[in-house]
Structure 1
Amino acid sequence: MDEFTSEELLEQLQQLDEQPRIEAKRASEIGKSVMQTICAFANEPGLGGGYLLLGIDEPSSVHESFTVCGVTDADTLLNTLQGNCREQFESPICVKGQVELLDGKKVIRLFVPELAPSAKPCTFKGKFDSKNKRKTGIWRRGLNGDYECSQQELEPLLLAKSGTSYEQIQLADAHWDDLDLSVIALYRTLRSKVRPYAEELQASDAEMLYALNLVRKQQDEWVPNVAGLLLMGKPLALRRLLPSVRVDYVRINGTKWVEDPEHRFATTLDLREPLLRLIPKLEATITDDLPRHFRLKEGDTQRSDEPLLPHKVIREAVVNAVMHRDYQVNQPILVVRYSNRIEIRNAGYSLKPEATLGDMGSKLRNPLIASVLYDLNFAETKGSGIRTMRRLLKQSGLAAPVFVSKVIENEFVATYLLHQLLGEEQLNWLTQFSHLHLTDDEAKALLLTREIGAIDNAGLRAITGLDTLSASQVLGRLHHQYHLIEQGGASSATYYQLAPQLQNDDQLPLFSGEAEASSEPNTSDLGTDTSDLGTDTSDLGTDTSDLNPATDTDLPEKLSQKIEQLTPKARRDKLWPVIVWLCALRPYKAEELATQLSRKETHLKHSHLNVLREQEKLIDYLYPEVINHPSQAYKTTDKGTNWLKHQGIEIE
């Protein structure tokens, strides 16, 4: 991380929408909160460490922004802090601290480096408790600050420490019979087309997969690892061993995730196949669902109907999602086809910084899977795929893709607009703001907000190349100075939508290509393979047709009794079943839950809802794709429903 002065850090705290790498505290003494933040910065993968600024008051009813309060006896505090970093952790942390003057008051600026994988996890001495699964003594950085991670959240750190990636793990119930012999034969066919005399093709199936590092011998049996199952496993084996490894393809009429609760999705398709079959199948699904353009190339005598997105762009988009996905996260890949764009969401932030996406060279989360896909020419080598996509889209007259990598949320979102962002229709719409003399970056921000419904700092950086602070200033001008967008959410989850007077404006005409399409999108296949979606759509949201607030009389009698019995200081074992039960009946907004349970919304979210969602996985967002959606609510997950059953609660 670049060196920042205390003044620069304070400026970012006051102006930026997201500060996952900066934490400010009053810190009249070096207590638990300060040390937990240091532990979290040192542990969080991909964050690159973070800054701690001591002597700063957080926003309050008195001050709307961060203000300098200063620290007394700064040298003593800094010495205490340095000593704690040497003595309180199992392995010392080397932090860089300095006392500086800010607004005439002394503050402490501290940089905490991210530890190398071999040195993680950073843990407090004597805190690990194998009996209490919730107490690990290991802190990580989350959307809402620091939190003590669970045993499950500890696993990625331990795997990285051992030098083992998740794809190399052999699952307990995996066997050679879980591999599909026809897919192994498919690999041989595809590989022979690229390199007919490849060495591994001369070996037996088991020896070939061993050479590819996809199987290992246990006793007398060759057993596939996770990579082997993902690439060549039988669909039923994938369902049994890796139930969340699938792709959910969703077709929506319109430009918003939910426009008509009665008709949530126009088309849904569940794809659960080994990657060697999944990639071409998903590519074909996307291609067949795109409008086609009439083209007659120079020298040709026959017309050709080509999809709006070039074939190679679709291939790269699909391969990037499956190759760089974090398979340890139980979250299917989500492909959403809107009328004006395609969005692909997969777990796993980019290991390359956003600013270097498209540069030569790549960092691989799943090197075994990547190696096989490279050998079969599914993937571009040397990290050139994104650069190729940008070039092809430009040649086709389309907008560059928008890539947003979210480290804290551990998610990567790729958006492909199906028209030029600054096309004729869009420029005509912008003429109504000509008197404001918007800059190019402000115009792009406004148009992208209109196209996809919302924009955040990361999304604006993706289409403009601005740095974080500059992007925040652009959004700030559109919000505070021109009043063209409105802010939603807070801190790291801030987003912006068009102001109400612009939201009521007619939607931009669909890109001209859709009107000129030579034929309707071919979706004949999409109705034939959706049997799973009736029972396994937890990640796609729930029916919102009854999202209107329920009254107390609508609740089951036993639930109403439990709510009445809650005391102001009710413990989690009393409160959590009520929350999960309520969210199992229908999606509940945070403010609705706070009213129903007579709690303060802020405390309820921080101490209960965030823990139930992020750590326990008993509830989830109704709109996971836009965390601070204006209609955001919580719904109970399948795990939450099963948990209620163990509590003796059956949901009718």
Structure 2
Amino acid sequence: MNEFTAEELLEQLQLLDECTRIEAKRGSDIGSSVMQTICAFANEPGLGGGYLLLGVSEPDQQHDRFYVCGVSNTDQLLGQLQNNCREQFEQSIPVSAEAVQLEGKTLILVFVPELEPAAKPSTFKGKFDSKNKRKTGVWRRGLNGDYECTQSELEPLLLAKSGLGFEQVILPDAEWDDLDPDVIALYRQLRARVRPYAEELQANDQEMLRALNLVKKQNGEWLPNVAGLLMMGKPLALRRLLPSVRVDYVRSSGVQWVEDPEQRFQTTLDLREPLLRLIPKLEAAILDDLPKHFRLPEGSTQRSDQPLLPQKVVREAVVNALMHRDYQVQQPILVVRYSNRIDIRNAGYSLKPEAMLGEMGSKLRNPVIAAVLYDLSFAETKGSGIRTMRNLLQQVGLTAPVFSSHVIANEFQATYLLHHLLGEDQLAWLSQFKQLQLTNDEARALILAKETGAVDNAGLRAVTGLDTLAASQVLGRLHHQHCLLVKGGAGPATYYQLADWTSDADELSLFGSQEAANTSDLEANTSDLEANTSDLEANTSELDLAEALQGKIKQLSPKARKDKLWLILVWLCGLRPYKADELAQLLSREERSLKHNHLRELREKEGLIDYRFPEVVNHPEQAYQTTAKGIQWLRDQGISLTTDNVDDGY
């Protein structure tokens, strides 16, 4: 049964920032595009299925919004849809579809349920090299629409199908000696404080770890699984087997990421420890870096200086990031301490819907790790942690944390403001817009954009309690009607940045927006178009490319080996940040393929490049830049970015 009507879905498509679950198509036939979307909706974990509107067209030159075009031969399309869902997949997908009337035209409304883990992945039949089955025949939902999985991207679906998570996988080359005896002893000490006569404490180390599900027998040997390594592994073993499992703590000046390119960070701290040691160490690093406030308890004559964020809030924030992280993603946890807030970002979207965060009950991505942390009183598994944080922050006069969960990007971000959202300074700043008679929710949206650099639907819901549609309408008014926010990104990654109020001209200039940059040097940009389409040498002065690099780009064939293409990508991004479309144009590659097959792997798996603005993935000025690891990798290839020395033998 459909949760929404066609009219409501079309309204959401027009208004909502996040419409990953809705797809509009003309519906002239039930071709490969429709079937790929059905496959993707059925497979995508945590999405809850999706809706197809057949008979709705995307904006074009005549229409600035989605518009109803209608379908003909409705009965034929409905029959073809059901037949394709039965015949084209290895196992049929039970879609529900009906013909409905909207704006005097006929549409077909289709709901595709998400399959149970045991029924995934849904796979297209047939041989390879067909439109639907070039690699695996399994389609998933991505930021830019539907895409066909590679074999590695199938692994989460296959693990879920088997009933196991990544934490229970035994990695190649893992061995018993990778476990740290001192950390095993630490577990015994911590557990004894909570429950001195716990059953597992009476057993030897091997039996205790087996009871905790941290080791398994394989070929007659007891070996640690991923959870065992994470909880009790030696630092060198973690570096060898799980190189990206670390926490990067960054102290950044100001309120934006990389505001001063000459001094990117004040301090950085990379933590790579087993979780039993990492949790208190990261907690201490955050607390030591927080401003203190004076407190004199009633009836006491002795003052105490306490951190601005309560210690219990910091502990809960740290444990949540480490316990719910998706450890299969090669991406460190990033903790950034800005002047006005703390941002914690980890791989792994929330398994609980954002609207239910703080309600009773937990959904655990890593139940083995969660059970160990629960036994040690590091964490609770009843779903009350977020509610506790909200209550504690309210007691000290601070705003509730802002949580942002992105299913498709598989990321979760928590933001903790270090002041009240509508404090004196914020109210004074808002006074410049008093003639607009903003509502309280609009004011909160503006302050959130000012303090964090961007506001999205989820963030606004967190500080206002609005539902998804109401929050979208607030952001829409601030963007379209008041022109105080600038829209960036698209689809599930849509966000809004603050516009810069220019009192002299009595108008808004776009702060942080690509339009501002483009309008200021439009003539230069248009004049460069001819140079960009001509020979690369015409752009030599602009790109400042080394002569050897130009030669390698010219010699690059359309089917060049991955290692040659990667060398050029990392080299280019080491000279200056490059956008994906710039790289695609320069290397004569298709942008989507370049991002999906190369840039993503270089960033997530190899760590040779990274986003210029990692905290806002779809920032309008987003670009790729080479990391310190990438610079060293180039040096190993005989390339120095400072002297442009090249090993001609490469």
What is the distance in 1 between the residues matched to 2:503 and 2:408?
A: 30
Aligned to 2:614: 624
What is the distance in 2 between the residues matched to 1:222 and 1:84?
A: 48
1:262 deviates by 0.6
Aligned to 1:43: 43
What is the distance in 2 between the residues matched to 1:422 and 1:553?
A: 45
1:458 deviates by 1.7
- Does the 8 Å contact 1:552/1:560 carry over to 2? no
Mapping of 1:163-242 within 5 angstroms? 163-242=163-242
Name the aligned partner's letter for residue 10 of structure 2. L
Aligned to 2:546: 556
Aligned to 1:582: 572
- Does the 8 Å contact 1:403/1:412 carry over to 2? yes
What is the distance in 1 between the residues matched to 2:88 and 2:574?
A: 42
Deviating above 6 A after TM superposition, structure 1's stretches of 4 or more consecutive aligned residues are 502-505, 637-651
CA distance 1:146–1:265, shift in 2 (3 Å): same
Computed over aligned residues only, the root mean square deviation of the Cα atoms, in angstroms, reads: 2.7
Name the aligned partner's letter for residue 582 of structure 1. L
CA distance 1:565–1:237, shift in 2 (3 Å): closer
Name the aligned partner's letter for residue 210 of structure 1. R
1:3 deviates by 1.2
Q: What SS is found at the alignment partner of 1:171? A: coil
Aligned to 2:519: none
Q: What SS is found at the alignment partner of 2:425? A: helix
Aligned to 1:485: 485
- Does the 8 Å contact 1:127/1:135 carry over to 2? no
Aligned to 2:525: none
Aligned to 1:605: 591
**Structure 1 unaligned spans of 5+:** 506-548
Q: What SS is found at the alignment partner of 1:42? A: helix
What is the distance in 1 between the residues matched to 2:256 and 2:63?
A: 36
- Does the 8 Å contact 1:150/1:615 carry over to 2? no
Q: How much identity, in percent, do the aligned residues show? A: 71
Q: What SS is found at the alignment partner of 1:189? A: helix
- Does the 8 Å contact 1:42/1:112 carry over to 2? yes
Aligned to 1:635: 625
- Does the 8 Å contact 2:399/2:463 carry over to 1? no
Aligned to 2:349: 349
CA distance 1:339–1:173, shift in 2 (3 Å): same
**Structure 2 unaligned spans of 5+:** 506-538, 646-650
Mapping of 1:42-441 within 5 angstroms? 42-127=42-127, 135-441=135-441
- Does the 8 Å contact 1:149/1:615 carry over to 2? no
1:218 deviates by 2.4
1:462 deviates by 1.8
Which whole-Å deviations, capped at 9, do the CAs of 1:307-365 have from their partners, x for residues lacking one? 00001000000000000000000011000000000000010011111001001110100
Comparing 175-184 and 585-594, the one that deviates more: 585-594
Name the aligned partner's letter for residue 619 of structure 2. H
CA distance 1:562–1:580, shift in 2 (3 Å): same
Q: What SS is found at the alignment partner of 2:262? A: helix
1:8 deviates by 1.2
Name the aligned partner's letter for residue 67 of structure 1. Y
1:469 deviates by 1.7
Aligned to 1:469: 469
Name the aligned partner's letter for residue 294 of structure 1. F
- Does the 8 Å contact 1:171/1:241 carry over to 2? yes
Name the aligned partner's letter for residue 149 of structure 1. C
**Aligned residue pair count:** 600
Mapping of 1:524-535 within 5 angstroms? none
TM-score, length of structure 1 as denominator length: 0.87
CA distance 1:176–1:563, shift in 2 (3 Å): closer
CA distance 1:439–1:62, shift in 2 (3 Å): same
What is the distance in 2 between the residues matched to 1:144 and 1:642?
A: 32
CA distance 1:254–1:90, shift in 2 (3 Å): same
- Does the 8 Å contact 2:400/2:462 carry over to 1? no
CA distance 1:40–1:325, shift in 2 (3 Å): same
Q: What SS is found at the alignment partner of 1:312? A: helix
Name the aligned partner's letter for residue 21 of structure 1. R
CA distance 1:128–1:387, shift in 2 (3 Å): farther
Name the aligned partner's letter for residue 591 of structure 2. K
Q: What SS is found at the alignment partner of 1:383? A: coil
TM-score, length of structure 2 as denominator length: 0.87
